[in-house]
């Protein structure tokens, strides 16, 4: 159950908002979000229900990538509207039958957290959608992904997104489609667009003289 949720936060939070403070019950005990993870990136992901096939494949996928998330300073947290006893039994089933240990906590939500974060699936009772919230070390929501119940997520894409956010924050650049494996830019990143005429004209001179600039508004660099 969720012990304490800030009722002053109304409506679904958006990218750039502070993640609402809450105290939640999990398979690893009570957790204060986002306070207990200050200084860390957090990947909070919901699933429709325990003991369901697609969710099981996702949890196995997240578990197998857990060490990679840990290496980049990111913590995984699952969530569904199930009792903690159901979570524990499901985690036990996954380990016993699939040989995969679930190392991250799972929130046992009564529906309060899912409602506050906009996770409830329309017309499907209390089941949650496959939502992903990526929260930065300061508690700001940086990315939100929503999938329907019928489609499982790509864990590699979630991991890639965290890495891209970390790199662009550190280097003040933008990441192209599928970075660092873009079809024509490869692992190059995009530098901020020129905002004054002089800089724009200087960049325009570089067009056609290599891979740096395609136009004054589209310049890249090697990472």
2 catalytic, yes or no?
A: no
In degrees, rounded to 5, the angle at the alpha carbon of residue 3 between the alpha carbons of residues 19 and 24 is: 50
d(CA 63, CA 215): 43
Q: Which of the following is catalytic: 2, 55, 213, 219?
A: 55
Residue showing tokens 């199930």: 82
Closest CA to 153 of 51, 45, 80: 45
Token output for 182: 């873009």
Give dist(CA 204, CA 110) in Å, integer: 57
Q: Are strands 41-46 and 74-80 parallel, antiparallel or unpaired?
A: parallel
| Residues with catalytic roles | 55
């Amino acid at each position: 159950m969720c012990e304490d949720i800030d009722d002053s936060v109304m409506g679904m939070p958006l990218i750039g908002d502070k993640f609402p403070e809450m105290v939640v019950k999990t398979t690893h005990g009570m957790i204060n979000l986002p306070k207990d993870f200050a200084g860390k990136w957090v990947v909070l992901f919901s699933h429709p229900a325990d003991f369901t096939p697609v969710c099981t494949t996702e949890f196995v996928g997240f578990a197998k990538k857990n060490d990679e998330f840990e290496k980049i300073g990111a913590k995984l947290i699952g969530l569904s509207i199930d009792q903690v006893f159901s979570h524990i039994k499901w985690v036990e089933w996954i380990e016993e039958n699939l040989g995969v240990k679930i190392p991250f906590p799972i929130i046992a939500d009564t529906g309060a957290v899912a409602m506050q974060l906009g996770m409830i699936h329309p017309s499907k009772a209390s089941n949650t959608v496959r939502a992903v919230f990526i929260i930065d070390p300061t508690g700001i929501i940086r990315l939100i992904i929503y999938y329907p119940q019928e489609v499982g997520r790509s864990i590699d894409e979630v991991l890639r997104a965290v890495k891209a956010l970390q790199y662009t924050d550190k280097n003040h650049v933008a990441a192209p489609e599928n970075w660092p494996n873009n079809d024509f830019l490869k692992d190059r990143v995009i530098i901020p667009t020129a905002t004054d005429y002089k800089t724009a004209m200087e960049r325009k001179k570089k067009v056609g003289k290599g891979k740096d600039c395609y136009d004054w508004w589209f310049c890249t660099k090697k990472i």
